[in-house]
Amino acid sequence: MFSPEDDLTSDNWIKRLYKDKMSGYDKEARPVHDHTHNTTLHMALSINHVDLDDVKQELSVSAWTIMTWTDEFLRWVPMNYMNIDRLHFDDKDIWLPDITVYNSADGSHTHPFDKVPVLADNTGQVFWFPPTHLRVKCDLDLTLWPSDSHRCVVRMGSWSHHGEQIDIQVMSLNETDGVMLTNFETNNRWELVKVSASRSVVSLEGHDPYIEVNFAFEVKRHASTHAQYLTQASLAVVVVVLASYLLPLTSHLSRLLMHLFGLTILITCYFTLFTTLPANGGPVPVVVRYFSGTIILTTISLLSTLILTVRPCCSSSTSNSSSSYSSYSSSSSSGLGKRLAGAVTSSRVLRSVLPHAGGGW
């Protein structure tokens, strides 16, 4: 075991090493002796949490960014410093790559990395694992809502150094390129289907090419709750409307009430979707078109039911009026016939009397 004196001596050597390396160190310049040499930066992400805000259309990622590069000014001989071969440096004291999220929703001025110490070994190899909070815009297509899936890309690269100065490479981790999911926490709303990293070179006319690393996230919505809600509502409407056609036409009120019940469910679901779905200006979701068409068909069925129930009532009233009129006509004709017969009889008696009385006609 080391004595307190040995610990104190070790601390003194750490301070001496730190002071020697920081003496004359310029953190604003790339850590190369020859400025024509580039700095190779290896980059990867260790994903912790992913969330997608479909209202704001923003993807949020919490991760640790893994970066490593060579700093030619942080090399030393361990034997000259009590065999110290690794040392932590404050991130404010040494050069750090100016990596920025190009498509950040917070703006380019926002630094995505937290402040943490930087680890360097005696060969000048530097390791930096800052916690990272990313928030980027993502164009969502809600056509297949609630079974929709989306692909969002995080574009990262150097803000002021072109590819001849900083060469960004994708680091290989656990047989995957640039991505680690060891510490990933699942989300109840979204499922992370796939995440990948790729390197691309952006060429600008009249300028040196820039290198960026693209992290593509494919997420899918957990649609179990929404699917159950929509399925049960649609099934209830179908059963009620079809059952109304099994009733006899004489059950006017029951048929109308069943149609109105189904139409009420559809309108309620339609307005619920209106308040749930974000207004992103994209294609109309299939479920919205389904409920719109179902509302139209149910309304047509309701109007058809009204027509079919009103016609028998009118025809029955007409038949009753016709029968009453026929009875009245027959009774009137019978009474009139009796009166005419009586008049004819009276005329015959009159004819038999008048010739005798008046000497004939």
Q: 123-128 and 58-75 as β-strands: parallel, antiparallel, unpaired?
A: antiparallel
Inter-residue contact 305 to 256 (CB < 8 Å): yes
Specify if 208 maps to a domain.
Answer: yes
Backbone angles phi, psi at 352, to 5 degrees: -75, -20
> Are residues 212 and 310 located together in one domain of the fold?
no
Alpha carbons 33 and 16: distance in angstroms, whole number: 23
Asked if residue 213 and residue 275 are part of one domain, the reply reads no
Query: Two tokens at 247?
Result: 């009733």
Q: Which residue has the tokens 């009875």?
A: 327
Pairing outcome for strands 39-53 and 58-75: antiparallel
84 and 187 inside one domain? yes
**Domain CATH number, residue 95:** 2.70.170.10
Query: What is the domain count for the chain?
Result: 2
**Are residue 144 and residue 264 in the same domain, yes or no?**
no
Residues 214 and 306 in one domain: no
Residue 223, both tokens = 């649609």
> Same structural domain for residues 126 and 82?
yes
Q: Which residue among 165, 188, 222 closes a domain?
A: 222
List the single range of 149-158, 192-201, 313-322 with lowest mean pLDDT. Answer: 313-322
In a domain, residue 169? The reply is yes
pLDDT tens digits, one per residue of 73-132: 999 999 999 999 999 999 999 999 999 999 988 876 667 899 999 999 999 999 999 999
Q: CA neighbours within 13 Å on the CB side: how many for 66?
A: 17
239 and 146 assigned to the same domain: no
Question: CA nearest 177: which of 196, 156, 192, 193?
Answer: 196
Boundary (domain end) residue, out of 169, 193, 222: 222
Q: What is the pLDDT of residue 339?
A: 52
Q: Would 6 be classed as within a structural domain?
A: no
- The reply to whether 116 and 188 lie within a common domain is yes
Dihedral angle computed from the Cα positions of residues 48, 53, 54 and 56, in that order, rounded to the nearest 10 degrees: -140
Are 40 and 119 contained in the same domain? yes
161 within a domain of the structure (yes/no): yes
As a whole number of angstroms, the distance between CA 189 and CA 344 comes to 102
User: Highest mean pLDDT: which of 126-140, 177-191, 194-208, 337-351?
Assistant: 126-140
Q: Please give the model's pTM, rounded to 2 decimal places.
A: 0.74
200 with 53, same domain: the answer is: yes
* pLDDT tens digit sequence for 232-263: 888 888 888 888 878 776 777 888 888 888 88
Residues 209 and 236 in one domain: no
Question: 319 lies in a domain?
Answer: no
Helix H or strand E segment including 9: helix 4-22
Judge whether 34 lies within some domain: yes
- Which pLDDT belongs to residue 225? 75
Residue 58: pLDDT band (50, 70, 90) is very high
Structural domain including 239 reads 226-314
Residue at 337 is within a domain = no
- pLDDT of res. 199: 93
Do 190 and 150 meet the contact criterion of CB atoms below 8 Å apart?
no
Q: What type of residue is 325?
A: Y
Can you tell me the distance from the alpha carbon of 201 to that of 168, in angstroms, rounded to the nearest whole number?
A: 10
Split at pLDDT 50, 70, 90, the class of 344 is very low
Q: Which conformational region is residue 57 in: left (phi greater than 0), alpha (psi within -120 to 50 degrees), or beta?
A: left
Q: What is the mean pLDDT of the chain?
A: 81
* Residue 36, in any domain of the structure: yes
Asked which of 179, 203, 222 is the last residue of a domain, the reply is: 222
| Cβ–Cβ < 8 Å for 132, 104 | no
**Do residues 36 and 173 both lie within one domain?**
yes
